[in-house]
Amino acid sequence: MNKEIDQLAADNIRALAVAMVEKANSGHPGGPMGGADYMHILYSEFFNYDPSDMHWPFRDRFFMDAGHLSTLMYAQYYLLGNYAKDDVANFRQWGSVTPGHPEVDVARGIENTSGPLGQGHTMGVGAAIAANFLKARFGDWMNHKVYGFISDGGVQEEISQGAGRIAGHLGLSNFIMFYDSNDVQLSSKTDEVTSENTAMKYEAWGWKVVTIDGHDHEQIRQALKDANAETEKPTLIIGETIMGKGCVTADGTSYEGYTELHGKPIGDTGADYEKTLVNLGADVENPFDIYAQVEEYYEGIINRKKDEAQAKKKEIDAWRAQNTELSAKLDGFLEGKMPALDFSSIQQKEGQATRAASSNVLAYLAENVENMIVSSADLSNSDKTDGFLKKTSVLQKGDFSGAFLQAGVAELTMATIANGIALHGGVIPVVATFFVFSDYMKPAIRLSAIQELPVKFVWTHDAFRVGEDGPTHQPIEQEAQIRLLEKLKNHSHEQSFVALRPADSQETNVAWKMAMENQKTPTGLILSRQGIKDVPAMNGTRYEAALGAEKGGYLVQEVADPDVILIANGSEVSTLVAATKLLEEKEGLKVNIASIPSEGIFRQQSQAYQEKVIPPNKPVFGLTAGLPVNLEGLAGPNGKVFGLEHFGYSAPATVLDEKFGFTGDQVYQQVVDFLK
């Protein structure tokens, strides 16, 4: 170790962070200045990866929670050769690879899009779960670490309770988190908003906790040594740091620890930009330069990292040579290869709820897909993920041989952990709860869509037919919210989310087929609580007909020159079937019925196909148990959609169907009135 070069390297990181924010005239310089010492020691001495192979699956991983500290990461990775000088000089600018908050860019070392505070470290917990899951199946050689970095805001966000509880309960000793405790947040000092004992809180959750001077390199070094040696618990390193460490005024007086240093360029505070650069050893004329001594030192670090990675790779190669079948299986997991699956073989009972049909699919997947973790927010017997659970066991401390995560009542935490599992790679995450509780998951669903993660969301109890539980548990507006993501493009210019609301059991089989085959974006399955009459098949088997769902929408009943087109998804399709019998018998009408489980996918089909299903010159009537807007875009300006424009009430489902106008008789009359 070299105290002088360590200090110089940390100060170089500080100067770069200051310069980036100053040039952009936007950002957060104070926190990166406080965290620079920890980052330098972590990456120079402890972090294991291959600079020549950034996607190496057995690398250590770093999950940033405090995304506003992005300059801390960019400066550190610039020293490591992951960014060019122009990259850091164009912080927060159009087209740059250094956005204001870090976005997934594994080639440059960015493992996660940080998002709102709290989610970043929780995704790290998910990655640690995935790593332990794989380690249990392939051996102790798979011993890479997951590092998290959290700030005061992340600790305060409610999600930190779920992440802390689950990580401690599972004994995630491969998860090491640094808490940058600088007593300052964006608009106040922390003592104005909290008086909790953070160390005691994490200890109560089962963590190893150590408090250090976050600027003392030897204390940082020792804390990381102890954390890497820990085998029973996750570790929280509370680093007491100084906001704006190294800031000075125009006369050289120290200007550290002030709240304004959190979110303003240094030049807009009481500190002096140029004098601060000089104090940190930077060249004011060339603030984005790496110091000569630091550059030489980091060249040695990079070469050492490569050598250490090669030694690890030789160890892995030796394991592969002795375990060829396991090795091939591991590669398949990491490459996202799916085993041959026959969804048509999954037997379903007549007239069951789609959540029950989903349970049967999950039981099949439990026996055929070995790298899947299914999680439920204390609802496995209601959201029917117990179909999977009955075929496996629960993940627990010291035993990750199972594949079911009992998340407890923590929907946002569970969904964010799933994002982390997906980011780690090699494991397929599935999470489940009631559809109305998707409200608690929205921030994670959004990050799943932004990061293009193939998480599978299972949402049951999909409509007001939840019945007696009343309006708080009856989703009305949730489908409209979720389907907005189907209209939103991700940065790969693709539909950012796939929402599927299947009409019956066989369409549920197909929906799961679509979800498992979708490795580009998240998928949500919206499933019923109540039994649904199976939709009759026009030709062949119902499963063969339901494969039409792969186009987002298809005709479940088709006649020549129809008088009206009826459209719906989910359980309303069977209601349309019942209404159609009356329309045919009483009115002599010719009726086409379309099931549209995913408008987003349907809109990707050719114009000719869309017009075959929903002709533009025919009257269209839509039925939805949610807001009419769910189908209004499909029905068109001359169509009509019957839905709900009010919250539900507590009563049996059959009573609500009648009171709200959702029986076959009532829909028949609505269509007749519409056609008049």
CB atoms within 10 A of CB 484: 13
Burial class (CB in 10 A: 0-12, 13-18, 19+), 239: buried
Please state, in angstroms and rounded to a whole number, the distance separating the CA atoms of residues 13 and 246. Answer: 11
Known active-site residue 411: yes
Residues in contact with 94: Cβ distance below 8 Å, sequence separation at least 6, in sequence order: none
Please name the amino acid found at residue 374: V
- Residue 62 CA, chain-centre distance (Å), reads 16
The catalytic residue among 103, 260, 411, 572 is 411
Give the 3-state DSSP-derived string for 626-675, with helices as H, strands as E and coil as C: CCCHHHHHHHCCCCEEECCCCCCCCCCHHHHHHHHCCCHHHHHHHHHHHH
CB 572, CB 627: distance < 8 Å: no
Residue identified by tokens 């929280």 is 236
| Contact (Cβ atoms closer than 8 angstroms) between residue 149 and residue 178 | yes
For residues 258 and 271, give the distance between their C-alpha atoms in angstroms, rounded to a whole number. 10
The residue assigned the tokens 């998860």 is 175
Q: Six-digit token pair at 161?
A: 């309770």
d(CA 550, CA 473): 30
**How would you write 436-455 as a 3-class SS string?**
HHHHHHHHHHHHHHHCCCCC
Secondary structure string (H, E, C) spanning 599-621: HHHHCCCCHHHHHHHCCCCCCEE
Q: How far apart are CA 359 and CA 41, in angstroms?
A: 48
User: CA 615, CA 591: separation in Å to the nearest integer?
Assistant: 12
Helices (H), 147-291: 152-156, 159-170, 198-204, 217-229, 273-279
Closest CA to 257 of 241, 246, 269, 242: 242
Which residues are identified as catalytic? 411
